[in-house]
Structure 1
């Protein structure tokens, strides 16, 4: 069982949009890591289009990096784990060889600074094949491309992670955006299941985040 704890389209060329897609800290604890791995999102770095603060984005990147090293220390070569942190909520996907290792991985991440909650989606299975991992890369890219092509969704605010055909969606989004992103993912070829891990915000919060200098109704002018 997973551990769940409380938690406009821009006129930018597609190549640039894909370059701003989200990053994953990935641990292939089974020898040499392949260039293309499961649990994939596309690139690294901070984004000005993100609805997280710069400080939170840095915290998330640090959690992913330190978590990767800690899992390597704790599990050695016997696991295949993807770590994604969004707004300090950590998603673990991949495969471990035993329930004990599954719990050990969660405990390792829980010990990191700034982790707000953990969603443990690790499966007790043999490691996924390179073919499956490559397929997951393709699914992630197709979902992100469909979101970028959509005229009624800001693709930059949705993080997409794919593991064994299961697509996980993260981000700070409105209910409308969550429903639209889910519908796009479900219609994408290769998607077996969609898991929503969104943090829902109101339309007023969305407007404030996208227009930080905009005066809200009733707010006095200075």
Structure 2
């Protein structure tokens, strides 16, 4: 029953988010890692809808197959899929990636799940607080927020930067994220925009 409720809640919140403005950050508690946007979401509405649907469908497949044996977060951007969280073994890690790749909309998969017991709610709360602190640091020290279109996702104290930006601003964002106390690693998955004029 708990698995069905978790799945329904995850899919329901993702579905509701389709009607939100592109500049509103999407934060889902449960099966999806906490994320917060820096700047606006540059994707067309159709792409946002497709990405959100893709993420929900992958999450549903993983929950159906693994139930409570795995805790996998799915984040998507322009068809790219980021998988984080915990799985019981190497076979499960390979399987969740296979499930993510089974959708035609998937263009690339970043599989960063680890073999470990599912994280605790306290760990997940700490991750969400780290995301907030990283976002605050970027807005304070990152320069032109309108030129940065990055989602900050934190899982197991690892900060993932997913989105679009110029190479210079993406590098700066990664440096700022790494400087936040409690962050153990930064993974930059930012698609490049045109370089800033010199």
TM-score range, shorter chain: 0.7 to 0.9
Asked if the contact 1:24/1:82 (under 8 Å) is kept, the reply is no
- Partner residue in 1 for 2:98: 107
Moved over 2 A (4+): 19-27, 148-151
CA distance in 2, matches of 1:26, 1:121: 18
Q: Which has the higher helix share?
A: 2
- 1:54 is displaced (CA, Å) by 1.6
1:84 paired to 2:84: no
What is the TM-score with the length of structure 1 in the denominator?
0.71
Q: Which has the higher strand share?
A: 2
Q: How many residue pairs end up in the alignment?
A: 174
CA distance in 1, matches of 2:81, 2:160: 12
1:97 paired to 2:97: no
Q: 2:168 aligns with which of 176, 187, 195?
A: 176
Q: Which runs of 5+ in 2 are unaligned?
A: 1-22
- 1:149 is displaced (CA, Å) by 2.5
Asked if the contact 2:51/2:76 (under 8 Å) is kept, the reply is yes
Distance 1:120 1:151, change over 3 A: closer
CA distance in 2, matches of 1:57, 1:158: 14
- 1:190 is displaced (CA, Å) by 1.1
- 1:21 is displaced (CA, Å) by 2.5
Greater relative contact order structure (CA < 8 Å, 6+ sep): 1
CA RMSD of aligned residues (A): 2.5
Q: Which runs of 5+ in 1 are unaligned?
A: 1-18, 28-36, 207-222
- 1:93-142 per-residue CA deviation (whole Å, 9 max, x = no partner) reads 00000111111111111112311110000101111122211110110011
- 1:151 is displaced (CA, Å) by 5.8
Q: Equivalent residues in 2 for 1:18-97 (5 A)?
A: 20-23=24-27, 27=31, 39-42=33-36, 49-97=40-88
- Partner residue in 2 for 1:122: 113
Bigger Rg over Cα: 1
CA distance in 2, matches of 1:88, 1:154: 24
- 1:189-209 per-residue CA deviation (whole Å, 9 max, x = no partner) reads 1101111111112137x9xxx
Q: 2:152 aligns with which of 154, 160, 185?
A: 160
- 1:152 is displaced (CA, Å) by 0.8
Asked if the contact 1:25/1:65 (under 8 Å) is kept, the reply is no
CA distance in 1, matches of 2:150, 2:26: 9
